[in-house]
Amino acid sequence: METVPTKTDDQQSSSKKKGGLRTMPFIIVNETFEKVASFGLHANMILYLKNEYHMSNAAGANVLFLWLAISNLTPTFGAFFSDSYLGRFRVIALASLVTFMGMSTLFLTAVIPQARPPYCDVQLEEICKSARPPHLALLFLSFGLMAIGAGGVRPCSLAFGADQLDKPENPNNARILQSFFNWYYASVGISVMISVTVIVYIQDKAGWAVGFGVPVVLMFLSVAMFLLGSSLYVKVKPNRSLFTGFVQVISATWKNRHLALPPTISNGICYYQGDSINLLVPSDKLRVLNKACIIKNPEKELDADGFAVAQWSLCSVKQVEELKALIKVLPIWSTGIMIAVTISQHSFPVLQATTMDRRLVAGFKIPAGSFSLFAIITLTIWVAIYDRVLVPFISKFTKRPRGLSFKQRMGIGLVISCLSTSTAALVERNRRAAALKQGLANNPLGLVNMSAMWLAPQYCLSGLAEAFNAIGQIEFYYSQFPKSMSSIAVSLFSLSMAMGNLVGSVIVGVLNHVTHNPSWVTNNLNQGHYDYYYCVLTVLCGINFLYYLICSWAYGPCEGEQICDKDKAHH
């Protein structure tokens, strides 16, 4: 996990000569170009897989679900290696190079005809040859390299930038850091918008070779800019990782499984405190983990300074309580998996948009992969309105500085996700009915007399659901975890997204297998029943909301509701 290590005197002295605002262009450009390149590739990828690799709709969607899942899972490992072994600079540099290699490999699949199956014209009803193993190997290699690269760049860039500006001796330190965070998130938002508009438009108009070549150039500039500023950076050495601490607690608990827990807990003398200033005693919840911090033989287990000789056999009370805090929130965390499925619905709406009228003004057509921009804009506008307008109004009734509690916001997000999928079902039902009325049952490439702007509401609802639930999740974790675990919030949300993409892949695979004559997710949208697919998602979202209510009730009130709201206001 990303933690902010305590700097030594030498590091603080070095920080005075290095870092500062002059390093920001190198760091922000690196992150911005990486996001423009990667998000721009994913937005339109379903069309590349279908048209160039002759994959079915279901197979293409599954590939993209798995790619997203791995991309959301690797940041966890990237943060671990950054904290424990390599440090942030090395991880970002290596990950950027790996991402560049992945994008270059994908570019080769577009420019080398032998790297993909032979071209065939579906409109002429030619028989398309399936992709052979070498074709798929090169394609999946590019996806894998980009997923590994994302795992190093995304979890480390923000913390690495903060390292350059974090100078406690500066009275304006807090304001400088806050300004950096604002600029950082603004750059991320702008880069995503550019990727789903400009990059997608280039792919549609100039072809895949140029459309994939532009991200390669951007990623090359990203790597070059980051390495160019190497001599200016503050490079904090790696420190203890929370993940390592969690594994140590589990290991110590297993090794001490035969120990009997003390019948009473008085002053915690029999528990190892580590470097904690205040004497701590472990809580009664999940008491079995308390065995990890029991001191059996002080003379053998502690050194002359009172620290544990073997950290894998004896852990501090603080480490035990950190793991307990994580386990306690896991049920509520699991409710975020299903909403991750709904906000990751990129493939099928793009295919729907290709069959609809995408003309906007003066004959300009919105690229099918650019409709996700509606979700991004909705999320951004809503967060601004909620923060500036609604919070002061709602707080008068709720008596909370942040308006709604994070539990309420998470629940509202789950409800809106149900509305998003049900809206998608209604739109697809009408699109399919219009296609059949026009006699396009056997012509999946025929243009349906229906505006693609009908897809905008489901995207807007998806963005609104994410604004409520995703931000609510992160605030919930921030308020419930110890300060040493603040950065775990981002990783937990990323993990729920990874799990959601895996679940989404399973749902598509199951429906494709159990539905026949034809499959609900068949290649021909007009013969399939994608509206039924969205109905299944709606039912699952409804069940997930009921599950959330149970988990929220079982969790109980936030430990000190006022404290939680203060924490929320702080974050």
**Do 375 and 501 sit in the same domain of this protein?**
yes
**Do 280 and 353 sit in the same domain of this protein?**
no
Closest CA to 286 of 314, 313, 246: 246
**Do 248 and 290 sit in the same domain of this protein?**
yes
Q: Find the angle CA(69)-CA(70)-CA(71) to the nearest 5 degrees.
A: 90
Distance CA 407, CA 384 (A): 20
Residues 6 or more apart whose Cβ sits within 8 Å of residue 414: 335, 338, 339, 465, 469, 541, 544, 545, 548
pLDDT digits (tens, 9 = 90+) for 308-331: 888 888 988 888 988 998 898 999
Residues 293, 271 contacting (CB under 8 angstroms): yes
Residues 6 or more apart whose Cβ sits within 8 Å of residue 531: 425, 426, 428, 429, 432
Please state, for a pLDDT cut of 70, what percent of the chain lies above it.
84
Check residue 558 and give its pLDDT.
64
Per-residue HEC secondary structure of 198-257 comes to HHHHHHHHHCHHHHHHHHHHHHHHHHHHHHHCHHHCCCCCCCCCHHHHHHHHHHHHHHCC
Q: What does each of the 571 residues of the chain score in pLDDT, given as a tens digit?
A: 444 444 444 444 444 577 777 888 888 888 788 888 888 888 889 999 988 998 988 999 999 999 999 998 898 888 778 877 888 889 899 999 999 999 999 999 999 999 999 887 655 556 778 889 999 999 999 999 999 998 888 777 777 887 787 666 666 666 666 566 656 666 777 888 888 889 999 998 899 999 999 999 999 998 998 999 888 888 877 766 778 888 999 999 999 888 887 765 555 558 888 777 666 788 888 888 988 988 888 888 888 877 888 888 898 888 898 899 889 899 999 999 999 999 888 889 999 999 999 988 777 889 888 898 898 888 888 877 876 777 776 676 666 666 677 888 899 999 999 999 999 999 999 999 999 999 888 888 788 999 999 999 999 999 999 888 887 887 788 778 776 676 676 678 888 989 999 999 999 999 999 998 889 998 889 999 999 999 999 999 999 999 999 999 988 876 544 444 444 444 3
**Do 227 and 292 sit in the same domain of this protein?**
no
| Residue 272 token pair | 């190892």
Buried b (16+ CB within 10 A) or exposed e, 81-100: bbbbebbbbbbbbbbbbbbb
Where is the domain boundary, 232, 257, 287? 232
Give the containing element (helix H, strand E) for 168: none
**Do 342 and 425 sit in the same domain of this protein?**
yes
Please report whether residue 271 resides in a domain: yes
Distance CA 489, CA 485 (A): 8
| Residue 357 token pair | 């009228």
Please report whether residue 419 resides in a domain: yes
In the DSSP assignment, the letter for residue 521 is T
**Do 280 and 400 sit in the same domain of this protein?**
no
Distance CA 555, CA 548 (A): 10
Check residue 119 and give its pLDDT.
83
Distance CA 550, CA 288 (A): 25
Please report whether residue 548 resides in a domain: yes
| Residue 15 token pair | 């920080």
**Do 537 and 395 sit in the same domain of this protein?**
yes
Please report whether residue 2 resides in a domain: no
Q: Which residue has the tokens 């909301």?
A: 545
| Domain range enclosing 189 | 9-232
Where is the domain boundary, 266, 294, 322? 322
HSE, side-chain direction, 13 A CA sphere, residue 26: 23
**Do 264 and 135 sit in the same domain of this protein?**
no
User: By three-state DSSP, how is residue 271 classified?
Assistant: strand
CB atoms within 10 A of CB 502: 20
| Residue 427 token pair | 């739109």
Please report whether residue 539 resides in a domain: yes
Where is the domain boundary, 232, 264, 291? 232
For residue 457, cis peptide bond before it (omega within 30 degrees of 0)? no
Please report whether residue 427 resides in a domain: yes
**Do 412 and 303 sit in the same domain of this protein?**
no
Check residue 563 and give its pLDDT.
43
**Do 391 and 523 sit in the same domain of this protein?**
yes
Check residue 568 and give its pLDDT.
42
**Do 530 and 448 sit in the same domain of this protein?**
yes
Residues 42, 273 contacting (CB under 8 angstroms): no
Check residue 565 and give its pLDDT.
44
Closest CA to 63 of 550, 508, 546, 392: 508
Phi then psi dihedrals of residue 371, to 5 deg: -70, -20
Query: What CATH code is carried by the domain that includes residue 466?
Result: 1.20.1250.20
Check residue 529 and give its pLDDT.
92
Please report whether residue 274 resides in a domain: yes
Please report whether residue 3 resides in a domain: no
Phi then psi dihedrals of residue 340, to 5 deg: -65, -35
Q: Which residue has the tokens 């287990």?
A: 301
**Do 397 and 479 sit in the same domain of this protein?**
yes
Number of domains in the chain: 3
Check residue 49 and give its pLDDT.
93
**pTM for this prediction:** 0.80
